[in-house]
Amino acid sequence: MVVKVATPVEIVDGVSFRLRTDQIVILDGLTAPPKSSEKEKKAMAKLGELVLKKKVAYEGHSIDAFGRTKASVKYEDGTDVNRLMGEFLATL
């Protein structure tokens, strides 16, 4: 698939965010913490620190039944956001 560059504008849950285009990107290979839990709040805050209002490059792997894109997400310098978020989730 094609690598696209975008700026996330909203955190949806602990592993996904919305783009200006309204498309939702899910960090592929990660599972969101349970809804309305303390872990979800912490995960959402961390994902916000990592991606909100920053340019990220993402490569979609698949689209789920709700039209969300499962993707590998990186900063333009190559830093792997999926890995950083996975390491954080492992500490919760």
Q: Summarize pLDDT for 32-64 with one digit per residue, the tens.
A: 999 999 999 999 999 999 999 999 999 998 999
Domain 3-91 carries which CATH code?
Answer: 2.40.50.90
Please say if the pLDDT value at position 11 is more than 70.
yes
Q: What is the pLDDT of residues 12-32, one digit of tens each?
A: 999 999 999 999 999 999 999
Q: Which two tokens stand for residue 60?
A: 């979609």
| Beta bridge pairs of residue 70 | 26, 62
The domain ranges of the chain are: 3-91
CB 53 within 8 A of CB 7: yes
pLDDT band at 1 (very low <50, low <70, confident <90, very high): low
What average pLDDT does the segment 63-73 reach? 94
In angstroms, what CA-CA distances link 36 with 13, 14, 51, 67? 10, 11, 21, 23
Check residue 47 and give its pLDDT. Answer: 98
Q: Flag whether the pTM goes above 0.85.
A: yes
